[in-house]
Chains A and B, each alone.
Chain A
């Protein structure tokens, strides 16, 4: 028996003026999976998600949620989804309990049931102690959790999460991951966006990589990482070291193209296996290229991007320095395993 896809989108387009934020994206999310949409700032992740969640009109293409047309039967689609946006969408002037009670009531729960479900969710998300505090006193992480709780009141079968862990500390992030896994165990389907390959890797069954409004790759995390090698050697060349020589050494020894990151002297080398790092380092010494620091890490989104698109992950539109800097820090936080020599 074939089941309908949780999300089936073909040729999605969204234009803001003459700018195409989403430029013909196809997505198929199967029931019961976690599907990750990965992309840098401005790639069009939020825009695509908002179209699927009936929050933005679809300019071209079509989308269905469990077989229900998003454009034509928005009201029915809204009964099947929960959405937690990139920015918290709870009422700042109400307390946590009041928020959950209100959203429950708005979705047809009786007052008593709404109160019970609010209590259950607050407990589930570790917010009981803050239950009667106004949201304006919540920390960012608490807000995020409450926001997610508010999306789960009617236990919708499909949940959209827009960058659910951006801005969370590592522990809260881990909790969020557990929560998402719990949702899937319950039978929910999750469509999430993220800027971290690491997160997509941890959570997603399948990933679509989006860049400048287009889907540039799709596959399991393993498939994506395999396209850039298993690990990355991150080097910092000494001032004055010859970048061109270094590049040639890498080509010869590792057989791959090094990625020069924007900071001067930094070079990332995709490796098939982490063992090859030593070969590259020895060849560097022989060629007289001196190095300040070395680490071996999992491939970052940067490398996946470079491998797939031929350019770095920094967005070009809205490429203010500020934005590029944030992207960079975020990408750098992917789990690093320091090479122990």
Chain B
């Protein structure tokens, strides 16, 4: 019997000052400040990073895909598109960078949806915290994933013989641009995450957005080979701008007008989808 008492929990002791409701009411604030929003977002990013470290299998997509796709596409299409693998690489690598970064965005939406179904989100909702923090926090943590995805693609390219003409700075610039674009476009998928009914349907809806965007672009083939109507779409597709800008950076080391268009498109996406996401998250209460 004595073993039973061994693990008895000590009775809670509340030796603190008494709770004063009137003072608590007086201390409440009607709005959340920008500083609080920022710090809460960073805490949510910290949480997402912790989760990443504990679920390393989540990095499968950003590690395997760049390796696999780069090698696969290079040897599969190299001969057909550019005559040989080596001369296809300057065209291909920036395309794969754009593609992997976009696929990574998709995971952002899926993971947000999965996360939101967990009990802990009830607590986030009941806390006096900025409604954008639970959305933006994980996205900040996802920057790590974009960097891995973009970086690994370049490394794989280098291994199979890609020699970027833009040098170290060109490549770093290209990675930076790709990461920024990925982060901005992720707001679309975050929004999908807040409106969809389940993680599965986020996946489905995201695929529908993602496939036309990545494949109907200049990511893998030169636009000149396409029929007119398709070329028209490919030219306005923001992913094409990203791919072109990345090529200019990585291959020539120049920041072209394409980079400007890409950033403009990113800004547009954030301005539209960040408020939409927050609104639909709020509504989910």
Binding site for B on A (CB under 8 A): 3, 6, 31, 53-57, 66-68, 73, 75-76, 78-81, 83, 85, 87-94, 98, 102-103, 105-108, 123-126, 134, 150, 155-158, 171, 175, 178-179, 182-183, 185-189
Flag if B285 contacts A54 (CB, 8 Å). Answer: yes
Q: How far is the CB of A127 from chain B (nearest CB, A)?
A: 8
Q: Say yes or no: A187 contacts B126, CB within 8 Å.
A: no
Other than the given A54-B285, A80-B28, A93-B54, 18 more pairs (CB < 8 A) read: A3-B21, A3-B22, A54-B125, A68-B25, A78-B128, A81-B126, A89-B122, A92-B120, A93-B50, A106-B43, A106-B129, A107-B129, A124-B13, A126-B9, A126-B10, A150-B123, A175-B11, A188-B19
Do A91 and B120 touch across chains, with their CB atoms under 8 A apart? Answer: yes
A54 to B285 Cα, complex, angstroms: 8
Return the 3 tightest CB-CB contacts between A and B, nearest first.
A126-B9, A187-B19, A157-B21
| Closest-CB distance, A186 to chain B (whole angstroms) | 5
For B54, the closest partner residue in chain A by CB is: A93
Q: Contact: A125 with B12, CB < 8 Å?
A: yes
- For residue A67, which residues in chain B have a CB less than 8 angstroms away from its CB? 25
- Does B25 lie within 8 Å of A80, measured CB to CB? yes
Contact with A along B5-27 (1 / 0, CB 8 A): 00011111110101111101101
> Are A66 and B285 CB-contacts (below 8 A) given A73-B30, A124-B12?
no
Q: Is B56 an interface residue when CB atoms closer than 8 A count as contact?
A: no
- A157–B19 CB distance below 8 A: yes
Q: How far is the CB of B119 from chain A (nearest CB, A)?
A: 4
Q: How far is the CB of A80 from chain B (nearest CB, A)?
A: 6
What are 6 A-B contacts with C-beta separation under 8 Å?
A55-B126, A80-B24, A89-B119, A93-B54, A124-B12, A175-B12
How distant is the Cα of A3 from the Cα of B25 in the complex, in angstroms? 12
Evaluate whether A66 and B25 lie within 8 angstroms (CB atoms) in the complex, with A75-B32, A78-B126 already known: yes
With A126-B10, A186-B18 already in contact, the answer to whether A93 and B119 are too (CB < 8 A) is no
Q: Return chain A residues, CB-CB under 8 Å to B25.
A: 66-68, 80, 157
B34 contacts A by Cβ under 8 Å: no
- In the bound assembly, the distance between CA atoms of A123 and B118 in angstroms comes to 26
Which residues of chain B from 180 to 199 have a CB within 8 Å of any chain A CB? none
Given contacts A87-B119, A89-B122, A126-B10, contact A106 B24 (CB under 8 A): no
> B46 in the interface, Cβ–Cβ < 8 Å?
yes
A245 to B50, CA, bound (A): 69
Q: Is the Cβ of B123 less than 8 Å from the Cβ of A103?
A: yes
Q: Decide if A178 touches B12 in the complex (CB within 8 Å).
A: yes
Residues of B within 8 A of A (CB): 8-14, 16, 18-22, 24-25, 27-32, 36, 39-40, 43, 46-47, 50-51, 54-55, 118-129, 133, 285
Residues of A within 8 A of B29 (CB): 75-76, 79
Task: Decide if B30 touches A105 in the complex (CB within 8 Å).
Answer: no
A179 touching B47, Cβ below 8 Å:
no
B25's nearest neighbour on chain A, judged by CB, is A66
With contacts A124-B13, A125-B9 taken as known, whether A53 is within 8 angstroms of B126 at the C-beta atoms is: yes
Given contact pairs A155-B19, A185-B14, A186-B16, A68 touches B47 in the complex (Cβ within 8 A): no
- Could you tell me if B20 and A157 are in contact, using CB atoms closer than 8 angstroms? yes
Closest to A123 in B: B10
A126 CA to B10 CA, complexed, in Å:
6
Interchain CA distance A91-B50 in the complex, whole Å: 11
Question: Contacts A83-B126, A89-B123, A106-B40 hold; do A68 and B55 have CB atoms under 8 A apart?
Answer: no
Q: Of B11, B22, B122, B124, which one neighbours A178 at CB under 8 angstroms?
A: B11
CB nearest to B13 among chain A residues: A124
Q: Which residue of chain B has its CB nearest to the CB of A76?
A: B28
**Which of B11, B46, B123, B129: most chain A CB closer than 10 A?**
B123
Closest to B125 in A: A55
A91 to chain B, nearest CB (A): 4
Q: In the bound complex, what is the Cα–Cα distance between A187 and B20 (angstroms)?
A: 7
Q: For the complex formed, measure the closest distance between the CB of B7 and the CB atoms of chain A, giving whole angstroms.
A: 9
Is the CB–CB distance between A31 and B21 below 8 Å?
Answer: yes
- B47 near A156 (CB under 8 angstroms)? no
Chain B residue with Cβ nearest A160: B126
Nearest CB in chain A to that of B50: its residue: A94
Task: Give complex CA distance A75, B37 in Å.
Answer: 13
Among A75, A94, A150, find the residue whose CB has the most chain B CB atoms closer than 10 A: A75
Chain B nearest CB, measured from A141 CB (Å): 10
Bound CA span A108–B130, Å: 12
- Residues from chain A with a CB closer than 8 A to the CB of B12 are 124-125, 175, 178-179, 182
State in angstroms the CA–CA spacing of A18 and B16 once bound together: 47
Asked whether A105 and B51 contact (CB < 8 A) given A55-B285, A186-B18, the answer is no
A75:B14 contact, CB within 8 angstroms? no
- Nearest opposing residue in chain A for B36, CB measure: A108
Inter-subunit contact A91/B47 (CB<8 Å)? yes
Residues of B within 8 A of A186 (CB): 14, 16, 18-19
From A55, A76, A183, contact of B14 by CB (8 A) = A183
Name A104's closest neighbour in chain B (CB-CB): B43
Q: Specify which of A79, A92, A156, A188 is in contact with B118 (CB 8 Å cutoff).
A: A92
Residues of A with C-beta under 8 A to B124: 106
Bound CA span A157–B55, Å: 37
By a CB distance below 8 angstroms, the chain B residues around A182 are 12-14
